Structure 1
Amino acid sequence: MDRRTILAGLAGTGLGGVLPNLARARTAMNGMMPGMAAAAMGAPATALSGDLIELVIDQATVRVGGRSGHAITVNGTTPGPMIRLREGQQVCLRVHNRLAEDTSIHWHGLLVPFQFDGVPGISYPGVAPGQSFDHVFTVRQAGTYWYHGHSGMQEAMGLFGPIVIDPAVPAIPAAREHVIMLHDWTDVHPHVLLKRLKQQGGFYNRQQQTLAGLLAGRDQTLGERLEWGRMRMDPTDIADVTGSTYTYCMNGHDSAANWTGAFVPGEAVRLRVINAAAMTNFNLRLPGMPMRVVAADGQDVVPIDTDEFQIGIAETYDVMVQPKSAQPIAIIAEAIDRSGQCRATLAPLGAPAGTAAPIPPLRARPLLTMRDMGMGAMDMTGMDMAAGTLDLSAPMPAPGQGGHAMHGGHGGMKMRDKSLAPPGLRLGPGVATLSAAPADRLADRPTGLEDVDHRVLTYADLKAAVPRPQAPPTRSLDVHLTANMERYMWSFDGVKLSENPAPLAFRAGERVRVTLINDTMMPHPIHIHGHFFDLVNGAGEAAPRKHTVNVLPGGKASFDLTADAVGDWAFHCHMLLHMHAGMFRVVTVREQAA
């Protein structure tokens, strides 16, 4: 047994469950292995700043939601400490590795030289056990960002923390600000999560439809259910790992621990919201309190008022709120499938310790629709093959029986006919469906929020605070997000990373329109390293700049990318298990030969 296995065993039996904040020496006296410390769940209040910032990656046991588990920590906590920088400064971020395995940290959303981007196997070898690595660069931006591990699945085990960068020219600050870091936590090792999903794609889904739901009219009609059954698709398959296993947290606190931030009635409060989850997109709202969105992915936007927004994994949003009365206010982060949620509290300054806002009941779980299959609101009955999701997992017909149809037996195209695949997409066992009529869904309310009775932010609402004239793209590139969800296989263009696909190649300085086409029935937050892109959302020169876009099921999203950073960069889905299973490519940017 290796050291990790022993540590995981200790955590699973509860032998590693010691109280937070005990000294390392006390922990060792309790019979734990060297290096196995107790960790505080929740980053310390003091931010790290200056020209040299040292981060120590280690292992520890944390206890959340009544369960103890093995964690990867930064400076003894998870989330790790906040790093506070200033635009224009030069900084050295020194990472020390006290683990028994390689590690790394990626500075998510920061524009850095590729050799300091922190992705082993692409930009550097990683940080070996007992070694240190200096990331030295000039800070080129301001805003809300974060850092996380990029080795194995250490990120899911607690290796992440927030970054706040103040502008070079000081802006008028909010009276008060709080970082709200959302994440999911389980004592189940991420490799075990992946193994179980490989064995059964719906292993963690405890919200599937029932006969009682059919009779009560809460779920699909019998006809709809029969059609979806013939397609071998589940309209409740919205999140791979759910609240049946995850405890949802804000700043390291679950609802019972109740993270609390102060406010003064009448003063504006800035909330820097970061989704650092491994597998969970969240819906965020403050019941009864409007929010004003002022930044997305660290970039200022024209302020837009909303009551709720969905934040994809790896995205950040800055919002302003202005409480009027001295009543506690709930911050609610709800999992996209509504299998669980987390409550934090904004409390009036000077309120008694333990002040907590009420926790609203979970809302009814959503169901996927025909639009999530790339069909819009069309009726499937008698549908022609050219107008819907193509089921490539169906067997080929016997000779003389005609072609297979879309899922339910309509139409006449051969499902394994490679002419169905657009250029650059490889059909195989890892591609079970194609969205034959994907729609631009940037103006759609995101999954599960289609019918709520209040304002919901969409990508079409976002406009850059300062418009930027840009040259038009000189070429276009389509990238398909592909999967066999039953077998838990994920890829780009039908090819997973382990199959060593060729990099997506760009010439330095060229501008390319990239269109992401989601051939699956699950949203995917797609992130590119080393660059920002202009989201093509109808805003023209005011297109918002982002580094991550959540592509809705059966839909597509386009962005214009100026390849202005020479080097090799990661490009991947930020759902950690999807990335680990193969939804990952390398983007290479090279100077054009003379």
Structure 2
Amino acid sequence: MSIMRLDRRTFLRGAAAGGGLLGLQGLLPAWAQTGSAGLRSELPALVGPNIDLTVGHSPFSVGGRTGHAVTVNGLLPAPLLRLREGQNARFSVTNTLDEDTSIHWHGVLLPFQMDGVPGISFPGIRPRETFVYEFPVKQSGTYWYHSHSGLQEAMGHYGPIVIDPAGADPVAYDREHVLVLSDWSFMHPHEILAKLKKSPGYFNRQRTTLSGLLAGADGMSLEERRMWGQMRMDPRDISDVNGTTYTFLVNGHGPEENWTGLFRPGERVRLRIINASAMSIFNVRIPGLPMTVVQADGENVRPVEVDEFQISVAETYDVIVQPNEDRAYTIVSEAIDRSGMGRATLAPRLGMTAEVPPLREVPTLTMRDMGMGGMDHSGMAGMDHSGMAGMDDGAMSGMDHAAMGQTPAAAPASDMAGMGAMNMRDPDNAPADMAVGVGVDMIAMAPANRLGDRPLGLETVDHRVLVYTDLVSLQPNKDRRPPSRTMEIHLTGNMERFMWGFDGRKFSELVEPIRFERNERVRVTLVNDTMMGHPIHLHGHFFELVTGGPAGHQPLKHTVNVAPGSKVTFDLTADAPGDWAFHCHMLMHMHAGMFNVVTVRPMDGAA
């Protein structure tokens, strides 16, 4: 299909060159306009198995400004790729840039040579060359794809994937919408990274002022503020880059453009929600409309009804909503530091809007975010376990409550006053294999498992909030063997220098890969020694979160957010031979060193 010559907005939304069936039905001139009256409720789609994609430069407009984007087939986000389980997918990717590019198929199980990570699984796609990705489609669910070259992902090189099951879908629905959440800046990502390197708090405009301190605006006492000051840390350093620089998008549209998805009252609507951001974690809610979570990271889970959930970078959640009234609903994706939000609408007709709630109060980090989980019980306040309602009494009685982040009652602030002057990088607290150098500015003293805790800023809201322990795999786990060994990996950093790594080492320091024997079963614990959340992604595999839930039904994930000062444990069956990327999916954290290679051997034959 040839590229259609329309105006810039239409070009970015609908013009796509390449094979497959392109979802351009219903294209009208009004589509080129901004505002809800001119927005289509479907993303342009390419249907497999054979699809042609072209990576190139495009202008991108939002909020009345135009900037430069890296796009696929001229679209931001890139076209929706629709595949079916059991197909043999073939993607012919042509690079029209003046630099190398790549496509990583995030969460898709495939041979490592097709994974799309330059220098790890293939050389990359050179300028004006074409690379063909070909692999069998062995799964179903909601996934996405993006560049793994430079910082192209932050410039628009990302798009959604939907894989329909070969058989009956266990999730019943009448209509679906794919929602790609992302962040966009008119500042080049290399400039953003340079500013973070010089001053990690450069984009933080939410520090407490003196007048705010005296008024108690952050909820802390003067003694607590003194302690934070002595440790040279900022309790509102929550997002490295935020709404002062980013516009938060839904399907490529800013909040004022109000992307709209349609429904008929009474329909069961499936929302496939993907966080394709470079650096932004969102809290998602639809005021007045409950959501039933049915899938996490493309894997079906037992239905859990909630009112809000947090989606970290690179995670996906599928939810079912059933709006029965003839009215509009606002879809809110609020940045975790409350510096801005993405906004879209569900409505029976185009042009309808609903009230957009104001940004909520800026959250403040606590001592538990510093890795003193056993000394601060505040995160358990208001915790809602209603999502466990689907478990039987036996499952509940067998749950490991230690794994759910339950900790002793908090010590009063006065008991912790002496901690203000402590050495946060005490080598005596470090594991033997950690490199305690300039790249490590703190080591968590008592990191707690917080998979059962409500996420930051949602601890006390008066509605149901999803937590990781609510997730229970719909199907039994395939590998029921106990782990044969354990492994602990520390997520480390120096926030003042914007240095990040695993076990105190950056990837550029030629670190040793993480080695697994093919098909071995390993229990891995990630310990976050920093005060930033890290969404950790393992390529080529799913792992089972150890949540203390029903035996044999641990939730499968390809990405998990490790909260500040906390630890997360998962069981991994290393069943995919090859070399795989393992990294923080905060793009700037990955490029600043939090990256390594997982190697699974032997390559041929079962172990």
AA paired with 2:309? F
Query: In the alignment, what sits opposite 1:186?
Result: 185
Query: In the alignment, what sits opposite 1:59?
Result: 57
Task: Work out the CA distance in 2 between the residues paired with 1:416 and 1:84.
Answer: 49
Partner deviation per Cα, 1:21-71 (whole Å, 9 max, x = no partner) = 359xx9xxxxxxxxxxxx999997331112210110000111112222110
Task: Work out the CA distance in 1 between the residues paired with 2:297 and 2:216.
Answer: 40
How far residue 415 of structure 1 moved from its aligned partner, in angstroms, is 6.8
Of the three residues 493, 505, 508, the one matched with 2:503 is: 493
Query: In the alignment, what sits opposite 1:555?
Result: 566
Pair 1:354-2:351 in alignment: yes
Pair 1:85-2:97 in alignment: no
How far residue 286 of structure 1 moved from its aligned partner, in angstroms, is 0.1
Contact kept in structure 1, 2:8 and 2:59, CA below 8 Å: no
What is the 5 A alignment of 1:498-577?
A: 498-539=508-549, 540-577=551-588
Task: Work out the CA distance in 1 between the residues paired with 2:214 and 2:427.
Answer: 42
AA paired with 1:443? G
SS in structure 1 at match of 2:46? coil
Point out the more displaced range, 172-181 or 361-370: 172-181
AA paired with 1:548? T
Partner deviation per Cα, 1:406-459 (whole Å, 9 max, x = no partner) = 5x235xxx7766443203211000100000211001001011111111110000
AA paired with 1:570? A
Contact kept in structure 2, 1:40 and 1:77, CA below 8 Å: no
Of the three residues 71, 74, 77, the one matched with 1:76 is: 74
Unmatched segments (≥5 aa) in structure 1: 1-17, 27-38, 385-404
Task: Work out the CA distance in 2 between the residues paired with 1:84 and 1:423.
Answer: 48
SS in structure 2 at match of 1:433? coil
TM-score norm. by structure 1 comes to 0.87
Pair 1:20-2:20 in alignment: no
Contact kept in structure 1, 2:224 and 2:413, CA below 8 Å: no
Task: Work out the CA distance in 2 between the residues paired with 1:183 and 1:204.
Answer: 18
C-alpha change, 1:200 and 1:89, in structure 2 (3 Å) is: same
Contact kept in structure 2, 1:40 and 1:62, CA below 8 Å: no
SS in structure 2 at match of 1:542? coil
Query: In the alignment, what sits opposite 1:212?
Result: 211
Contact kept in structure 1, 2:294 and 2:303, CA below 8 Å: yes
SS in structure 2 at match of 1:115? helix
Of the three residues 485, 490, 493, the one matched with 1:475 is: 485
AA paired with 1:52? N
Task: Work out the CA distance in 2 between the residues paired with 1:68 and 1:582.
Answer: 32
What is the 5 A alignment of 1:101-500?
A: 101-171=99-169, 173-219=172-218, 220-348=220-348, 351=349, 353-376=350-373, 377=376, 378-379=411-412, 381=414, 406=419, 408-409=420-421, 418-468=427-477, 470-500=480-510
SS in structure 1 at match of 2:159? strand
Contact kept in structure 2, 1:55 and 1:93, CA below 8 Å: yes
SS in structure 2 at match of 1:206? coil
How far residue 170 of structure 1 moved from its aligned partner, in angstroms, is 2.8
SS in structure 2 at match of 1:256? helix
Query: In the alignment, what sits opposite 2:98?
Result: 100
How far residue 216 of structure 1 moved from its aligned partner, in angstroms, is 2.5
How far residue 591 of structure 1 moved from its aligned partner, in angstroms, is 1.4
Task: Work out the CA distance in 1 between the residues paired with 2:584 and 2:33.
Answer: 29
Task: Work out the CA distance in 2 between the residues paired with 1:501 and 1:434.
Answer: 20
AA paired with 1:532? F
Contact kept in structure 1, 2:85 and 2:139, CA below 8 Å: yes
SS in structure 2 at match of 1:343? strand
Task: Work out the CA distance in 1 between the residues paired with 2:482 and 2:295.
Answer: 25
Contact kept in structure 1, 2:200 and 2:240, CA below 8 Å: yes
Query: In the alignment, what sits opposite 1:387?
Result: none
Partner deviation per Cα, 1:552-594 (whole Å, 9 max, x = no partner) = 1100000000000000000000000000000000000001899
C-alpha change, 1:355 and 1:416, in structure 2 (3 Å) is: closer
Contact kept in structure 2, 1:145 and 1:162, CA below 8 Å: yes
Task: Work out the CA distance in 2 between the residues paired with 1:162 and 1:491.
Answer: 29
Task: Work out the CA distance in 1 between the residues paired with 2:156 and 2:93.
Answer: 16
TM-score norm. by structure 2 comes to 0.85
Task: Work out the CA distance in 2 between the residues paired with 1:379 and 1:279.
Answer: 34
Task: Work out the CA distance in 1 between the residues paired with 2:85 and 2:568.
Answer: 30
Task: Work out the CA distance in 2 between the residues paired with 1:22 and 1:46.
Answer: 12
How many percent identity over aligned positions? 59
AA paired with 1:491? G
Partner deviation per Cα, 1:486-528 (whole Å, 9 max, x = no partner) = 1111111100011010000000000101100000011110000
SS in structure 1 at match of 2:334? strand
Task: Work out the CA distance in 1 between the residues paired with 2:281 and 2:8.
Answer: 30
C-alpha change, 1:381 and 1:258, in structure 2 (3 Å) is: same
AA paired with 1:504? I
How far residue 543 of structure 1 moved from its aligned partner, in angstroms, is 0.3
How far residue 94 of structure 1 moved from its aligned partner, in angstroms, is 1.0
Task: Work out the CA distance in 2 between the residues paired with 1:423 and 1:512.
Answer: 20
Unmatched segments (≥5 aa) in structure 2: 1-6, 16-31, 377-410
Contact kept in structure 1, 2:90 and 2:135, CA below 8 Å: yes
Contact kept in structure 2, 1:88 and 1:139, CA below 8 Å: yes
Task: Work out the CA distance in 2 between the residues paired with 1:20 and 1:180.
Answer: 19
Contact kept in structure 2, 1:40 and 1:78, CA below 8 Å: no
Task: Work out the CA distance in 2 between the residues paired with 1:162 and 1:260.
Answer: 17
Point out the more displaced range, 212-221 or 517-526: 212-221
How far residue 380 of structure 1 moved from its aligned partner, in angstroms, is 5.7
AA paired with 1:564? D
Aligned residues: 537
